Chains A and B, each alone.
Chain A
Amino acid sequence: MIPDAAAPPFPAPAASGAGAGFAWALRRDLRIGVRTKGELGVQVLFYVLVATLFPLATAPERTLLAALGPGVLWVAALLASLLSLPRLFASDFADGTLEQLALSPYPLAALISGKITAHWVTTGLPVALLAPLLGLQYALDDPARYTLAAALLLGTPVLSLLGAVGAALTLGLRGGGGSLLALLVLPLYVPVLIFGAGAVEAVRGGLSAAPHLSLLAACLLVAAVGAPFGAAAAVRIALE
């Protein structure tokens, strides 16, 4: 027996809650996001450009544009979200951070929830906030534009959540797995697209947007509960 090992000076590890893990990942990823403003700017600019190209390419009729607008803005939001998804885990995977996340005493799903929230704040939130402005190009009236923003506020977190599962599943693939990620994730985005664009259509038709927004909120709740665990499982597989 080694005598000095009888009472090792190693204190019990600090208590580890899901909330602290969430806050750790959110704070760190937001800080990194602020340092890489250029990259984020490119994504937002991409969204603005895609949304601006359509009115230029189609006939300048107010009714046609107003009918196209919600769908085009939603598709642009999906693409902007997709564009930024590979970044979510790839750099952490490459520099060994993901191993440390998996070995942390904090639950991996909580850390990943924090990362997803940071992803939404840096990509989904600007998209939702810019939508009422871009809606002007499509001759959408005020109620339609604000409904669009509300639908995007509810829908873009779902895009980040579902996308995180796809991003985690395609980790470690050659070439980053970007195109596979798109094939994997875009079909999952379909319900969000339908309910999101449907909410604006309903308002334009003089109906209430509440049913569509409620369904979007339901999607958000289900994804918020399930997706972090799915992404955590996929990250563990990628690390094996």
Chain B
Amino acid sequence: MTALLRLDVEGLGAIRGTTRLFSGVDFHVQAGQLLLVRGPNGAGKTTLLRILAGLSAALDGAVAWCGERMRPLDARLRAVVSFAGHAPAVKDELTAEENLHALLTLMGEPAGDALLRDGLAAAGLAAQRTLPARVLSQGQRRRIGLARLAATARPLWILDEPATALDDAGLAWLAELVERHLRAGGIVVAASHQPLAVAPARTATLALG
């Protein structure tokens, strides 16, 4: 019996230094839903996402995955979450293919040759497959990070400004990835200043600040 996927947040509060970023944040996201976190710079979007991913501890409140309360870096949470932070975790010294391979195997996911080739081709990096990431542009590095998301089977995606540095084709691909993930019953929580072209019926918005 598979539990219905859901992410529940109640009374979440966080501080940065001595200033309170937000408090009493409540929301519930169900399988197949995108939660778009919006707010001005410094409203605490990144902090909120890091708390959801389990990287930071909240000052108060609780995060629950499928009805079970999660502590920071909870093993159960680490097994379901795919987090894409500000920095795409791409190593300059490794090639695009090696980067994707390293990111996937680090998550305990399969990373066969065909999967890597197809993943990079879908990311529009077929020609850059064996180039060191040092010579890739910011947008191309982002695409490696997105290729990782696409190739993993994690139900909960947490995306911090995923649209940064992406061109129009990249944005369309990102929207398609998110849409596909939602259709498969996954959950996406994203902070983005740019709108994501995802069906409004699946999208909820949380305003911070």
Q: Is the interface of B mostly helix, strand, loop or mixed?
A: loop
The answer to whether B56 touches A5 (Cβ under 8 A) is no
Interface residues of B in 168-209 (CB under 8 A from A): 183-186
The answer to whether B30 touches A32 (Cβ under 8 A) is no
Give the contact stretch, choosing among A52-60, A90-98, A120-128: A90-98
The answer to whether B31 touches A240 (Cβ under 8 A) is no
Q: Which one of A11, A94, A104 contacts B106 once the chains associate, using CB atoms below 8 Å? A: A104
Give the contact stretch, choosing among B18-26, B79-87, B114-122: B79-87
Tell me whether A28 is interfacial, beta carbon within 8 Å: yes
The residue in chain A whose Cβ has the minimal distance to the Cβ of B57 is A240
| Cβ–Cβ < 8 Å partners of A91 in chain B | 91
Interface string of B133-157 (1 = CB under 8 A from A): 0000000000000000000011100
* Whole-angstrom distance between the Cβ of A83 and the nearest chain B Cβ: 19
Assembly CA distance A7 to B30 (angstroms):
14
The answer to whether B81 touches A94 (Cβ under 8 A) is no
Assembly CA distance A28 to B99 (angstroms):
10
The answer to whether B108 touches A16 (Cβ under 8 A) is yes
The answer to whether A13 touches B108 (Cβ under 8 A) is yes
* Whole-angstrom distance between the Cβ of B194 and the nearest chain A Cβ: 20
Tell me whether A234 is interfacial, beta carbon within 8 Å: no
The answer to whether B4 touches A6 (Cβ under 8 A) is yes
The answer to whether B32 touches A105 (Cβ under 8 A) is no
The answer to whether B56 touches A95 (Cβ under 8 A) is no
Assembly CA distance A15 to B91 (angstroms):
25
Interface string of A196-240 (1 = CB under 8 A from B): 000000000000000000000000000000000000000010011
Between A11, A36, A102, the greatest number of chain B beta carbons within 10 A of the residue's beta carbon is seen for: A102
The answer to whether A8 touches B185 (Cβ under 8 A) is yes
Tell me whether B129 is interfacial, beta carbon within 8 Å: no
The answer to whether A106 touches B108 (Cβ under 8 A) is yes
| Cβ–Cβ < 8 Å partners of B94 in chain A | 28, 31-32, 35
Assembly CA distance A96 to B98 (angstroms):
16
Interface string of A1-31 (1 = CB under 8 A from B): 1101111111101111000100010001001
Tell me whether A183 is interfacial, beta carbon within 8 Å: no
Assembly CA distance A4 to B2 (angstroms):
12
The residue in chain B whose Cβ has the minimal distance to the Cβ of A93 is B87
| Cβ–Cβ < 8 Å partners of B55 in chain A | 99, 102-103, 239-240
Could you show 7 A-B contacts with beta carbons less than 8 Å apart?
Answer: A7-B185, A8-B2, A11-B153, A14-B108, A32-B94, A94-B87, A100-B106
